[in-house]
Amino acid sequence: MKKFTIGAALLSMMFTGINAQSLKSPDGKFEANFQLKNGVPFYNLKYNGNVVVEDSKLGLRLFKDSSIKFASEIAKPEDASFDLNNGFTKTAEKRDSKNETWQPILGEKKNYINDYNELAVTLNQTSSDRSIVIKFRLFNDGLGFRYEFPQQKNLNYFVIREEDSEIDFPTDMKAWWIVADYDSQEYQYQTTKISEIPTQWPKAFDSNASQTLIKNAVQSPLMLKKEGKEPLYVNVGEAAVLDYPASHLEVDAQNFKFKTHLTADRQGAKGYIQTPSTTPWRTIIVSPKAEVLMDSKMMFNLNEPTKYKDTSYIKPTKYMGVWWEMIIGKSQWAYSTAENVHIGKTDFSKLTPNGKHAANNTKVKEYIDFASANGFQGLLIEGWNTGWEDWFGHSKEFVFDFITPYPDFDLKMLNDYAHSKNVDLIMHHETSGSASNYERWSDKAFETMNKYGYKSVKTGYVGDIIPRGEHHYSQWTINHYYRIVEKANDYKIMVNSHESVRPGGESRTYPNYISAEAARGTEYEAFGGNKPDHQTILPFTRWMGGSMDYTPGIFQTKLDYYFPGDKRFVQTTLAKQLALYVVMYMPLQMAADLPENYAKHMDAFQFIKDVAADWDDTKILSAEPGDYIHTARKAKGTENWFVGGVTDENPRDYTVDFSFLDKGKKYEATVYEDGKDADYINNPQSYKIYKKTVDSKTKLPIHLVRSGGYAISLKPIK
Amino acid sequence: MKKFTIGAALLSMMFTGINAQSLKSPDGKFEANFQLKNGVPFYNLKYNGNVVVEDSKLGLRLFKDSSIKFASEIAKPEDASFDLNNGFTKTAEKRDSKNETWQPILGEKKNYINDYNELAVTLNQTSSDRSIVIKFRLFNDGLGFRYEFPQQKNLNYFVIREEDSEIDFPTDMKAWWIVADYDSQEYQYQTTKISEIPTQWPKAFDSNASQTLIKNAVQSPLMLKKEGKEPLYVNVGEAAVLDYPASHLEVDAQNFKFKTHLTADRQGAKGYIQTPSTTPWRTIIVSPKAEVLMDSKMMFNLNEPTKYKDTSYIKPTKYMGVWWEMIIGKSQWAYSTAENVHIGKTDFSKLTPNGKHAANNTKVKEYIDFASANGFQGLLIEGWNTGWEDWFGHSKEFVFDFITPYPDFDLKMLNDYAHSKNVDLIMHHETSGSASNYERWSDKAFETMNKYGYKSVKTGYVGDIIPRGEHHYSQWTINHYYRIVEKANDYKIMVNSHESVRPGGESRTYPNYISAEAARGTEYEAFGGNKPDHQTILPFTRWMGGSMDYTPGIFQTKLDYYFPGDKRFVQTTLAKQLALYVVMYMPLQMAADLPENYAKHMDAFQFIKDVAADWDDTKILSAEPGDYIHTARKAKGTENWFVGGVTDENPRDYTVDFSFLDKGKKYEATVYEDGKDADYINNPQSYKIYKKTVDSKTKLPIHLVRSGGYAISLKPIK
């Protein structure tokens, strides 16, 4: 009898105590638990005692280590004996905590707070004598965890077949998601229950220039909501995605479960690892309040502080661009009518101009004049360099040299002219996905930028990646993006990458990586349209790990203005376009429309001229993913505030509560609001502007029409 | 009746006249015919009226042009409507000829003669309105042909599924071949009939560090012989393989037919083409005499003259190396016992030395002393730089930086020391197949070479290529080899690449590309051995398009000298090793053994010290592939001659006929011959040396033991 009792007690301990570790957040509200069950690692997450994430499995499957004939290893059937997902015992446990305040170089607030408790468990797989560490950091807004692979005798090199980190929810949840694709995030968000994802998946995408869809999987960051009496908002993402492929999330719809699915290379391998090494952090941000979730800086906190010696060149930039007129089809990137050009061989001055080349001396000077007159620091010029005639769709490796201008673009003259007017031209390096070619030219390209005084570059990766067989989110390509960013730092250049991987807070480590597109932006208004709720979702997903270059500010929303009969239109009111400058955090901030359209609405344009791009403080006043967002921000180093609000396809009334203002101060508020009769389809340009004196006690009612918005600029009255 | 007759005549003309063009060689002995049969292109080749190559089909199969979603195009089923192999009519015909004499910068003769008649037929595929050109050049030693793709409205970009150039022989032939592999040529030659290739193929290879075998296909250059009363020797190869994948030859054994099989990339695509473009030349060298065939310079003649402005830095180089002792296992490339190092992070001075690192200051100085004392211009040092601890088998991309020496290798001191003794160190850039990494470092690496006075570099590509999925002979990788060679020219550096693609005469265009391995060389004597007939075949195959860095000169052939019980041995006599310096053309010429072994045989070593590496004239005295080769060469700018002869596994008697010498002159000949009792297995180091006065009338009988040889140096007696 005694033996049995001891046995039972031991058994009990084994499954709940000896192999289970518990971690609490600094404020005690979250609890994360780690446990080995029969040698397999699991974790769970609780909030206020309630299960947020059920026991979820962890682990990785590997190809054979250090194979001398790697290509043939991939082809062999799976051999579970190589996997790092079972047969573990815990051999060590280490706890730590941190509570620091740090200053982002460009940010939504002057200070970010990094406050967590940490638990690192060391697991040894007895059969192979290999050890891994799983590290958990529990914040007051959720959990981050990652795997670590110490350098050790039996683990030097390995290749990942798949990482199998699960996140198992106890109930169905509302989800805002886009389809998984190794090459693009430029999809419309779907709003369904988790259980409905497989049904909706086949209808959830249109075509893309580079596309490798993964069925019944979705991308991260993924936004979720447990509805009901005590709603809970959950965001699933990853941070510090470096030297590792980006992860998607396979869905097990019946069980409300997701599992990591890494981006493969053409061989089917999912990560070449040399120890010591760590995976990205898998993040689960949780809050009963959507506003608190959106405000989370967890992804940035999980990245390492920067090692850059000099960051003084990294500045916020408001810019315009010779760009939208090409996107809508009014002009072209290419200079000539040729269909086939050879960089370094073709004499472009002998080609027949197509008469539609936008990046020409005359037009660029006009844009410079307008940007200068209106206080914009930057002017992006696309189509300035040779190669656009056949840049796309041919798997052409040597597609651009990034240094040779077209015959009608005078590099020196235009840069001198811009500088004389306090404007910097912004460089454009479209790579056409030919990353290895870009690396070959990057030194010369950056030297050219330094020579002519360019301070930042927009890079692009439209089309399939070369090296052929790599994907936009493969490990190799992610390493490429950071090689470029690091080299740009050597030249004191800021980088804004399009069609690249979405950020997971890495701008803390690489602060010159000031923005990226990596989602469906304003250009898609001309490529099929963005649904009215699009901008109410992106800040809950794409923005969680870093700013997006959304390029808003379109005043002439209906494109039949240019092309009679054209049915395309930007699916918002004009006032909503203004609101985006506050609702979306954009330290690199574009006023994307043509000068002539701003000239027709200089009163509304005033808001874009006034709005800041860098902030001392941010308050998410009110937000619900897919429905509305209302945000207030305080411009860095000033007492000026800006407020913005947007709605989805539903009209809304909202009362702005100005209690965030300094007490006892008066402010002049300039309000830009949808006109009473405004409508994003039929009357998008109806807006009203009025001034009002406000203070911290003021409550201002605002009416937003469907896909409408409002913007307010406030400055103290002396 | 009349109608019928006219019809028949027309029919007859159609199949023999209207769509058939004939081309003759300058001396009229060869005739090549081109013909469209039902719109499909064919060619044949005749010598002295006899069919050498029967009507053989030409053409290419393509993927869909300019596909926007290329990766998915590869997966689609073949669609013959895209192919360029049928539906042609001839729309133009152009004839040309040339007879020029040109001087190779480094060569086997002072002058090479380029004498041919040319026919270019323009074919238009009516259904697609696309035109191609097939160009034939007929020399006095055979035929070269290629496809040309003019820039035109309907043909700007295309991707090749396969090139299907056939070569159809009328009878079975003896063939000397190695298995087809996208990644290696390091195989033993097989000697079988064409009809026996499939049977022998499965037994014809051992393992290799990087291997992608193609069943029932062989590599080119391929050597063939029609046996019988009027034997005919035929060599099938390719020249000017630039911006195109290398081709293998699929065999249809029943029909004695071969067809091109291009090297694929990982996607399965076989060439990304932008017009205007040309394929490599497919070469068919033919002679009733093996000696005349081996002497052919057709592949070089088919390449463009160089555009390099300065070639004065390109010189022949005799060198020794810190190399063989690592190959046999006596010492190591790596410095430390570590299994896992991080370039740029690991402090190598803190690692534990393994005590076997060959490239250390003391040993290198000893080699410098010996090389200097014996008149060698160069000394290759392998293992001088950090990264060798884990360089292989891990798919490690950042494997070397090519600029950081190990702690026991003083870059400055050793280079100064070497220069003070009239020796240049030869740089080593092993890439481990990580080509994209090498490109990233190539400028810094070449700057470092210039800084320390290195004049040439040996590059290596051991292991699978990175970008992963590319092969050693893919188009991408071939472009990589030439990017490196062109960049090396900017730095006035000569290049010798190992594990790269075999040359097809491109050294005419890129004269700093002075040698390559790209076949099974002397190192394989330590990795399983080279059959005794190996060196009697390579000059008929590997050498046809350019010199090979065979690295001979092993005096201590039996390796049990180092490791008691070791059964490995170099499978030749010592005298045969001397002969190789004449039989093999090597402008970059290694004496590969350890100094201590030469020191024990300074009398035999004298030949290696004396033999030239650059030539005014070459006479192939007598040769039969797979059996024996006897060659005489005249050293550039001198009156000195060198003769060498080798045999296979059979002993042979041979009488050297000195009629190639200047008449009326006397020469002192120093003869190095197998000893009477020499044997490559049991008594390899038995040799005799004697002097003899000879003139153009002398006939000198020589006895070669099995896998034996002889060497003779001659200088005029004043």
Among A523, A596, A639, A668, the active-site one is: A523
Whole-angstrom distance, CA of residue A431 vs CA of residue A459: 7
User: Is 0.80 surpassed by the pTM of this model?
Assistant: yes
DSSP A34-77: EEEETTEEEEEEEETTEEEEEEEE--EEEPPTT-TTHHHHHHSP
Nearest CA in chain B to A66: B394
What pLDDT does A718 receive? 83
B469 at A interface, C-beta within 8 A: yes
Residue that has been written with the tokens 């040529």 in this structure: B185
Residue A472 has pLDDT above 90, yes or no: yes
Which of A74, A347, A390, A395 to probe the B interface (max B CBs under 10 A)?
A: A395
Q: Is B444 left (phi over 0), alpha (psi -120 to 50) or beta?
A: alpha
Nearest CA distance, A67 vs chain B (angstrom): 6
> Which letter does DSSP use for residue B280 in this model?
P
With beta carbons under 8 A apart, name residues in chain A contacting B469.
265-267, 467-469
Nearest CA in chain A to B392: A68
Whole-angstrom distance, CA of residue A183 vs CA of residue A211: 5
Provide the sign of the torsion angle of the four alpha carbons B413, B415, B416, B422, taken in this order.
positive
> One-letter amino acid identity for A224?
L
Kindly list the distances between the CA atom of residue B402 and the CA atoms of B383, B440, B441, in Å, as whole numbers in the listed order. Answer: 11, 10, 7
Nearest CA distance, A251 vs chain B (angstrom): 25
A136 neighbors A42 (Cβ within 8 angstroms): no
CATH number reported for the structural domain that contains residue A181 in this entry: 2.70.98.10
Residue A141 has pLDDT above 50, yes or no: yes
Residue B67 has pLDDT above 60, yes or no: no
B159 at A interface, C-beta within 8 A: yes
Whole-angstrom distance, CA of residue B495 vs CA of residue B402: 15
- Residue A10's pLDDT band, with cuts at 50, 70 and 90, is very low
Residue B63 has pLDDT above 70, yes or no: yes
B297 neighbors B314 (Cβ within 8 angstroms): no
Task: Answer yes or no: do B240 and B344 share one domain.
Answer: no
What pLDDT does B70 receive? 58
Please indicate, yes or no, if residue B123 is contained in any of the structural domains.
yes
For chain A, the domain total comes to: 2
Please indicate, yes or no, if residue B494 is contained in any of the structural domains.
yes
A563 at B interface, C-beta within 8 A: no
Task: Answer yes or no: do A39 and A102 share one domain.
Answer: yes
Whole-angstrom distance, CA of residue B376 vs CA of residue B650: 34
Task: Answer yes or no: do B123 and B241 share one domain.
Answer: yes
Whole-angstrom distance, CA of residue B361 vs CA of residue B87: 68
A275 at B interface, C-beta within 8 A: yes
B395 at A interface, C-beta within 8 A: yes
Range of the domain at A29: 21-302
Minimum-distance CB partner of B439 among A265, A440, A464: A440
Establish how many alpha carbons lie within 13 A of residue A21's alpha carbon, considering only the half-sphere containing its beta carbon.
22
Strands A628-635, A641-647: pairing kind: antiparallel
H/E element holding B36? strand B30-37
Cross-chain residue pair A211–B275, CB shorter than 8 Å:
no
Percent of chain A beyond pLDDT 70?
Answer: 96
Could you give the 3-state DSSP secondary structure of residue B513?
A: strand
Q: Which of A17-26, A570-579, B274-283 has the lowest mean pLDDT?
A: A17-26
> One-letter amino acid identity for A673?
E
**In this structure, what token pair is assigned to residue A651?**
């009209």
Using the CB atoms, write b or e for A378-415: b if 16+ within 10 Å: bbbbbbbbbbbbbbbbbbbbbbbbbbbbbbbbbbeebb
> Which letter does DSSP use for residue B270 in this model?
-
A210 neighbors A183 (Cβ within 8 angstroms): yes
With beta carbons under 8 A apart, name residues in chain B contacting A209.
68
Residue A335 has pLDDT above 80, yes or no: yes
Using the CB atoms, write b or e for B349-362: b if 16+ within 10 Å: eebebeebbbbbee
Please indicate, yes or no, if residue A244 is contained in any of the structural domains.
yes
Please indicate, yes or no, if residue A47 is contained in any of the structural domains.
yes
Whole-angstrom distance, CA of residue A144 vs CA of residue A281: 6
Task: Answer yes or no: do A368 and A281 share one domain.
Answer: no
Q: What mean pLDDT comes out for the span A162-175?
A: 98
With beta carbons under 8 A apart, name residues in chain A contacting B339.
153, 156
Which of B62, B67, B69 to probe the A interface (max A CBs under 10 A)?
A: B69
Cross-chain residue pair A467–B464, CB shorter than 8 Å:
no
What pLDDT does B81 receive? 86
Higher pLDDT, B257 or B64: B257
Whole-angstrom distance, CA of residue A628 vs CA of residue A618: 17
B307 at A interface, C-beta within 8 A: no
Nearest CA in chain A to B469: A267
Cross-chain residue pair B396–A157, CB shorter than 8 Å:
yes
pLDDT digits (tens, 9 = 90+) for A106-129: 999 999 999 999 999 999 999 999
Cross-chain residue pair A266–B269, CB shorter than 8 Å:
no
Which of B212, B267, B395 to probe the A interface (max A CBs under 10 A)?
A: B395
Cross-chain residue pair B66–A476, CB shorter than 8 Å:
no
Task: Answer yes or no: do B266 and B402 share one domain.
Answer: no
pLDDT digits (tens, 9 = 90+) for A214-224: 999 999 999 99
Nearest CA in chain B to A339: B156
Task: Answer yes or no: do A61 and A127 share one domain.
Answer: yes
Residue A17 has pLDDT above 60, yes or no: no
Cross-chain residue pair A394–B156, CB shorter than 8 Å:
yes
Q: What mean pLDDT comes out for the span B331-360?
A: 97
Task: Tell me the backbone φ, ψ of residue A488, rounded to 5 degrees.
Answer: -60, -35
Could you give the 3-state DSSP secondary structure of residue B80?
A: helix
Whole-angstrom distance, CA of residue B623 vs CA of residue B249: 25
What pLDDT does A615 receive? 98
DSSP B287-338: ESSHHHHHT--HHHHTSPPP--S--TT---EEEEEETHHHHTTSSBS--BS-
Strands A157-163, A60-62: pairing kind: antiparallel
Task: Answer yes or no: do B140 and B265 share one domain.
Answer: yes
Task: Answer yes or no: do A447 and A388 share one domain.
Answer: yes
User: Which residues lie below 8 Å from residue B553, measured CB to CB, with a gap of 6+?
Assistant: B577, B578, B580, B581, B590, B591, B592, B593, B608
Could you give the 3-state DSSP secondary structure of residue A71?
A: helix
Q: Is A304 a catalytic residue?
A: no
A467 at B interface, C-beta within 8 A: yes
Please indicate, yes or no, if residue B444 is contained in any of the structural domains.
yes
A212 at B interface, C-beta within 8 A: yes
Task: Answer yes or no: do B277 and B358 share one domain.
Answer: no
Cross-chain residue pair B157–A69, CB shorter than 8 Å:
no
B467 at A interface, C-beta within 8 A: yes
Could you give the 3-state DSSP secondary structure of residue B7?
A: helix
| ipTM rounded to 2 decimals | 0.90
The residue among A243, A235, A307 whose CA lies nearest residue A280 is: A243
Nearest CA in chain B to A151: B340
Nearest CA in chain B to A389: B156
Nearest CA in chain B to A153: B339
Nearest CA in chain B to A439: B440
**In this structure, what token pair is assigned to residue A669?**
């508020």
The residue among A205, A231, A339, A349 whose CA lies nearest residue A290 is: A231
Kindly list the distances between the CA atom of residue A546 and the CA atoms of A227, A515, A575, in Å, as whole numbers in the listed order. Answer: 27, 7, 25
**In this structure, what token pair is assigned to residue A416?**
């001198």
Neighbour count for residue B97 (Cβ, 10 Å): 12
Query: Which of the listed residues A501, A518, A535 is the one where a domain comes to its end?
Result: A518
pLDDT digits (tens, 9 = 90+) for B131-178: 999 999 999 999 999 999 999 999 999 999 999 999 999 999 999 999
Minimum-distance CB partner of B396 among A274, A464, A479: A274
Using the CB atoms, write b or e for B262-278: b if 16+ within 10 Å: bbbbbbebbbbbbbebb
A440 at B interface, C-beta within 8 A: yes
Residue that has been written with the tokens 């030919």 in this structure: A434
With beta carbons under 8 A apart, name residues in chain A contacting B243.
none
Please indicate, yes or no, if residue B311 is contained in any of the structural domains.
no
Chain B 57-96, residues with CB within 8 Å of chain A CB atoms: 66-71
Interhelix angle for B435-452 vs B411-420, to 10°?
50
Query: Which of the listed residues B500, B518, B536 is the one where a domain comes to its end?
Result: B518
**In this structure, what token pair is assigned to residue B172?**
């079975």
- Residue B600's pLDDT band, with cuts at 50, 70 and 90, is very high
Query: Which of the listed residues A518, A539, A555 is the one where a domain comes to its end?
Result: A518
A142 neighbors A298 (Cβ within 8 angstroms): yes
Cross-chain residue pair A469–B209, CB shorter than 8 Å:
no
Whole-angstrom distance, CA of residue A388 vs CA of residue A410: 17
Q: What mean pLDDT comes out for the span A83-103?
A: 97
Please indicate, yes or no, if residue A645 is contained in any of the structural domains.
no
B561 at A interface, C-beta within 8 A: no
Cross-chain residue pair B211–A397, CB shorter than 8 Å:
no
A267 at B interface, C-beta within 8 A: yes
A658 neighbors A670 (Cβ within 8 angstroms): no
What pLDDT does B73 receive? 67
**In this structure, what token pair is assigned to residue B5?**
């007759």
A647 neighbors A707 (Cβ within 8 angstroms): yes
Q: Is B369 exposed, middle or buried (0-12, 13-18, 19+ CB in 10 A)?
A: middle
Residue that has been written with the tokens 């010598």 in this structure: B47
A464 at B interface, C-beta within 8 A: yes
pLDDT digits (tens, 9 = 90+) for A644-681: 999 999 999 999 999 999 999 999 999 999 999 999 99
H/E element holding B418? helix B411-420
Nearest CA distance, A508 vs chain B (angstrom): 22
Cis-peptide, bond into residue B280, ω within 30° of zero: no
Task: Answer yes or no: do B277 and B145 share one domain.
Answer: yes
Minimum-distance CB partner of A266 among B157, B211, B266: B266
With beta carbons under 8 A apart, name residues in chain B contacting A70.
393, 395, 464
B181 at A interface, C-beta within 8 A: no
A512 neighbors A547 (Cβ within 8 angstroms): no
- Residue A59's pLDDT band, with cuts at 50, 70 and 90, is very high
Please indicate, yes or no, if residue B402 is contained in any of the structural domains.
yes
Interhelix angle for B574-583 vs B602-610, to 10°?
0
Whole-angstrom distance, CA of residue A87 vs CA of residue A129: 10
A272 at B interface, C-beta within 8 A: yes
Which of B274, B275, B466, B478 to probe the A interface (max A CBs under 10 A)?
A: B274
Cross-chain residue pair A267–B469, CB shorter than 8 Å:
yes
What pLDDT does B613 receive? 98
CATH number reported for the structural domain that contains residue A465 in this entry: 3.20.20.70
Task: Answer yes or no: do A49 and A85 share one domain.
Answer: yes
Cross-chain residue pair B393–A339, CB shorter than 8 Å:
no
Whole-angstrom distance, CA of residue B311 vs CA of residue B394: 39
Catalytic site residues of B? 523
Size of interface A-B (CB pairs under 8 A): 118
Nearest CA distance, B218 vs chain A (angstrom): 21
Task: Answer yes or no: do B266 and B355 share one domain.
Answer: no
Report chain B's mean pLDDT, rounded to a whole number: 95
Q: What mean pLDDT comes out for the span B106-124?
A: 98
Q: Is A2 exposed, middle or buried (0-12, 13-18, 19+ CB in 10 A)?
A: exposed
